[in-house]
A and B are shown apart, each in its own frame.
Chain A
């Protein structure tokens, strides 16, 4: 059981990620860490993989009020294993989280993450998914959506952008038998409650936080939350969780909005024709149908 946040007023006022960090203005990834720390409280240790967020602490400054460790890109989960094991040896209890990008999670660090989940180390792994290697300027990784323009999948005479459909890391992590969920900055209570739920489990958990990227996706910096909200309202980024291999959809839009409304706010889809958009709409429809089917398998 965990202390559920029922309304926005329940969100703790105290911040453990203060101002003055060198992220882009309106960065939803920074919001994701800020909200997670609000939900988790002071007794938390953060591990970052190399990413935009590993540049939060720039000698001699830090915007963090909790302990923090960064070592490399592919090993946040393994590093966190070392921390939780050491805390146990020292007979101290703190929540340990990883806050890692999608490149570090989906690609270079998947072995390290899978190992952590399989060993059952009590770490909450939050992947902030901006669907590219954002810190190096926005290159393709296996979280990049179909047809998106990245620096290494540019559209051109012979290309429509990224032609490799992304992996589903939430299902991959759910298949480890651990708690796995999606989350979004547009639904802060849903996100923070998932963080608290995972914290209370004292077991490995995986939350993937949808993290629009101002320079990478090409939208106005004030629109991050709107972009994220449209992603969920169009069912491009549904909110759901997997627990004991059972899927629960946390939010079902009363009316599914056309994916075009989400795409047209972003420069990374600027090259698409109406036909291309209809192809993406078809993929979104089938993914959503599959998710609904997956949910109906559970006992009600």
Chain B
């Protein structure tokens, strides 16, 4: 175990190395480049076991990741924004082939207009692809989640790829004190990948990626992905317990912060959560009954945890660092869905914040709570840009 001062990019490079990733197809894109540059340097210095393989596009990266994983090795890669969009076709194929690839996405807003700074539209575009989706709030969590993602993805009850999201620049290029686990700690936690469901071996021929032109067959395979997502919930919880035992650091499907006796809940994802929590503390000091729910895992969506936590609230302010144009925030719709079948629903508003790296200051969260109170008096949820 080492106490280091690392950027988010360096932290996840450590995660990939400690997970004993075997194959790393890659392609550069801001703000992810430092991840692959770090891995490239380690390979040049003989400190990385993996095959570091620079490709011709992100589409080719995910294709090679699929080829490698379908052959039977542990695969890691990283991308961002436009790169993730170019991969999109292959994302469904990776999950449909049940390949436990792990990818880090450094969130960045999507063009047009082009931006280099962070928002979550790239990451949330994956929500129907069948990938496990984990959003880290700091660099430590990004490192830890990268290692945990392999364990979750490779579980026989899951066998789906995972994406670990980390906010571009805010985390990817920002240094934070980070604990780097020892190799032996990680080895005890994560055994080598030895697939029995998908491999390419001429001694035991297998075909992968076959056509299922009969609708019932197609439905059967898609439904298997659905079931695996449902299974993943318990696997993630179990993996979090094991990681806690191994390192002392605890994570869950969601994070509940100062929610006991709260009347208003702020819901967040990613690095914005740490700023919001600081302001929740300030509001609590003033006697305001405000708490925060952080959506750490977006897929599988922890519906019961969300419902059970938010059903007691009078108001729920869902903060989205993303935009479904014409609708509002993406998580807002998803969370409203979780609360559909309770009798007394809280007033719920959507706050679209931090698009393209727009400033997120502590005081803005107090302003959001003020606006939320107004909506509660009006008994009407609204969509607002902050």
Q: Are B202 and A112 in contact (CB under 8 A)?
A: no
Q: Give min CB distance, B130 to chain A, whole Å.
A: 15
- Does B305 belong to the interface (CB within 8 Å)? no
- Of A38-46, A168-176, A186-194, A287-295, the stretch lying at the interface with chain B is A38-46
Contact B72 A67 (CB under 8 A): no
Closest chain A residue, CB of each to CB of B73: A86
Instruction: Kindly report which residue of chain B lies nearest to residue A114, judged by CB atoms.
Output: B56
User: Do residues A71 and B63 form an inter-chain contact, with CB atoms below 8 A?
Assistant: yes
Mark B60-93 against chain A: 1 for CB-CB distance below 8 A, else 0: 1101111111111101000000000000011001
B180 close to chain A: CB less than 8 A: no
Interface residues on chain A, number (Cβ under 8 Å): 44
Closest to A44 in B: B202
Evaluate whether A59 and B64 lie within 8 angstroms (CB atoms) in the complex, with A69-B200, A86-B72 already known: no
B210 in contact with A62 (CB, 8 Å):
yes
Indicate whether A89 sits within 8 Å of B211 (C-beta atoms), given known contacts A43-B202, A69-B70, A82-B64.
no
- The answer to whether A83 touches B71 (Cβ under 8 A) is yes
Residue A70 contacts which of B73, B201, B210 (CB distance < 8 angstroms)? Answer: B210
In the complex, the chain B residue whose C-beta lies closest to that of A85 is B51
B2 at interface (Cβ–Cβ under 8 A)? no
Q: Contacts A44-B202, A72-B90, A75-B59 hold; do A85 and B23 have CB atoms under 8 A apart?
A: yes
User: Across the interface, which residues of A come within 8 angstroms of B75, CB to CB?
Assistant: 82
Determine the distance from Cα of A81 to Cα of B55 in the docked complex, in whole angstroms. 9
Q: Choose among A42, A112, A118 the residue with the greatest number of B CB atoms under 10 Å from its CB.
A: A112
Chain B residues, Cβ within 8 Å of A71: 63, 66-67, 90, 93, 97, 209
In the complex formed, the residue of B with least CB distance to A66 is: B205
Rounded to whole angstroms, the CA-CA distance of A90 and B65 in the bound complex is 15
B207 partner, pick from A55, A68, A94, beta carbons under 8 A? A68
B57 at the interface (CB under 8 A from A): yes
A58 to B210, CA, bound (A): 6
Tell me the complex Cα distance, A47–B68, Å: 12
Complex Cα gap A64–B208 (Å): 12
* Interface hit among B212-220, B252-260, B326-334: B212-220
The answer to whether A82 and B210 touch across the interface, beta carbons within 8 angstroms, is no
A265 to B208, CA, bound (A): 38
- Among A65-123, those with CB < 8 Å from B are 65-72, 74-75, 77-83, 85-90, 92, 94, 111-112, 114-115, 118-119
Residue of B nearest to A57 (CB): B210
Which residues of chain B have C-beta atoms less than 8 A from A54's C-beta? 209, 211
In the complex, what residues of B have CB within 8 A of residue A115's CB?
A: 55-57, 60
The residues of B that contact A44 with a CB separation of less than 8 Å are: 202
User: Which residues of A are found within 8 Å of B54, using beta-carbon distances?
Assistant: 119
Q: Is the CB of B200 within 8 A of A83?
A: yes
B68/A55 in contact, CB under 8 A: no
Q: CB-CB < 8 A to B288: which residues of A?
A: none
A-B contact count (CB 8 A): 150
Classify chain B: how many residues form its interface, as a range: 35 or more
Known A-B contacts A67-B201, A85-B51, A85-B53; the reply to A55 vs B71 at CB < 8 A is no
**Chain B residues in 8 Å Cβ range of A77:** 60
Given A78-B56, A78-B63, A89-B73, answer yes or no on A72-B93 (Cβ-Cβ < 8 Å). yes
Q: Which residues of B contact A89 (CB under 8 A)?
A: 22-23, 51, 73
Contacts of A90 in B (CB 8 A): 71-73
With contacts A74-B59, A82-B63, A111-B56 taken as known, whether A67 is within 8 angstroms of B73 at the C-beta atoms is no
Partner of A81, one of B53, B200, B207, B213: B53
* 0/1 string, B28-56, CB within 8 A of A gives 1: 00000000000000000000000101111
Q: What CA separation (Å) do A295 and B88 show in the bound complex?
A: 44
Residue of A nearest to B64 (CB): A82
Q: Which residues of A contact B212 (CB under 8 A)?
A: 58-59
In the complex, what's the smallest C-beta–C-beta distance from B88 to chain A, in angstroms?
A: 11
- Which interface residue of B54, B206, B209 has the most chain A CB atoms within 10 A? B209
Specify which of A45, A62, A66, A112 is in contact with B63 (CB 8 Å cutoff): A112
A67 cross-chain contacts in B, Cβ below 8 A: 200-202, 205-208
Contacts of B51 in A (CB 8 A): 85, 88-89
Additional A-B contacts beyond A42-B202, A58-B210, A86-B68 (15; CB < 8 A):
A57-B210, A62-B207, A62-B210, A64-B207, A66-B202, A67-B208, A78-B63, A79-B63, A82-B71, A86-B67, A88-B51, A89-B23, A90-B72, A94-B202, A111-B60
**25 sample A-B contacts, Cβ–Cβ < 8 Å, listed by A number:** A42-B202, A45-B200, A47-B67, A58-B213, A59-B210, A59-B211, A66-B205, A67-B200, A69-B207, A69-B208, A72-B63, A75-B59, A78-B60, A78-B67, A79-B67, A81-B53, A82-B65, A83-B200, A85-B23, A87-B71, A87-B200, A88-B51, A111-B57, A112-B56, A115-B56
Q: Which 4 A-B pairs have the closest CB atoms?
A: A82-B67, A115-B56, A86-B71, A78-B60
